[in-house]
């Protein structure tokens, strides 16, 4: 990576957190996109300095677009959209549609994500094999991380406004939700 990085964003998806960096050489017309430090797209000698670059992010190929707009003279503004929404709108919606827990087991770090609309569970970028069951109080989704028994319990909050509460238990111990 050279010194032409003009934008950097952190994007939380079900399969991980991605650092997207954009390099824009306004004198050379160069555009380079890095994801987690790895070059994903390079265009040299772009004579049109404004425009859009669209590229996939993550194992689910989530659509990302960087827009380059001229502000004044040789000043540019760079914005990132994910799935056609501004990054902030995407992250706000994502926080409503998923739950994330970050924990350490046997000295290793784990990031567990529940997609509430599909009930898919991801752990460190891998979609987990799960078994769901209905209970008296809601539902439970069981899966294993290494040799640890995990369960995501979905129960009613008792309040319409709060809806369903999701809790992660690892070996019977409740894990606090992460703030992303």
Domain ranges of the chain: 5-83, 99-175
Q: What is the DSSP string of 79-116?
A: EEEETTEEHHHHHHHHHHHEEEEEEEETTEEEEEEEET
- What are the pLDDT tens digits along the chain (180 aa)? 556 799 999 999 999 999 999 999 878 889 999 999 999 999 988 777 889 999 999 998 999 999 999 998 778 999 999 999 999 999 999 988 999 999 999 999 999 999 999 999 999 999 999 999 999 989 999 999 999 999 999 998 777 777 889 999 999 999 999 877
Contact 168, 150 (CB under 8 A): yes
* 5-83: CATH architecture: Beta Barrel (2.40)
Residue 106 burial (10 A CB sphere; 0-12, 13-18, 19+) = exposed
State the CB neighbour count (10 A cutoff) for residue 61: 9
- Tell me, yes or no, if the two domains 5-83 and 99-175 fold the same way: yes
CATH number for 99-175: choose from 3.30.1360.70, 3.40.50.450, 3.30.1370.100, 2.40.128.180. Answer: 2.40.128.180
* Number of Cβ atoms within 10 Å of the Cβ of 15: 19
In the numeric block, which tokens belong to residue 107? 């000295």
Quick one: pLDDT at residue 105?
Answer: 95
Residue 73: what pLDDT? 76
In the sheet where 131-135 sits, what is the strand order? Answer: 131-135, 138-145, 148-156, 164-170, 173-175
Question: What distance in Å separates the CA atoms of residue 140 and residue 144, rounded to the nearest whole number?
Answer: 13
């Amino acid at each position: 990576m050279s010194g032409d990085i003009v934008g950097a964003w952190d994007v939380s998806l079900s399969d991980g957190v991605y650092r997207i960096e954009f390099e824009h050489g306004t004198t050379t017309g160069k555009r380079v996109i890095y994801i987690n430090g790895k070059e994903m797209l390079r265009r040299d000698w772009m004579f049109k300095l404004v425009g859009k670059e669209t590229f996939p992010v993550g194992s689910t190929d989530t659509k990302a677009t960087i827009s380059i707009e001229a502000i004044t003279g040789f000043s540019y503004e760079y914005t990132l959209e994910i799935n056609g929404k501004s990054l902030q709108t995407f992250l706000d919606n994502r926080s409503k549609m998923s739950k994330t827990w970050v924990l350490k087991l046997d000295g290793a770090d784990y990031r567990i994500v529940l997609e509430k609309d599909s009930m898919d569970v991801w752990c460190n970028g891998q979609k987990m094999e799960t078994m769901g069951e209905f209970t008296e109080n809601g539902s439970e989704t069981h899966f294993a991380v290494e040799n640890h028994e995990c369960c995501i319990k979905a129960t009613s909050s008792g309040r319409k406004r709060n809806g369903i509460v999701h809790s992660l238990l690892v070996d019977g111990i409740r894990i606090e939700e992460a703030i992303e």
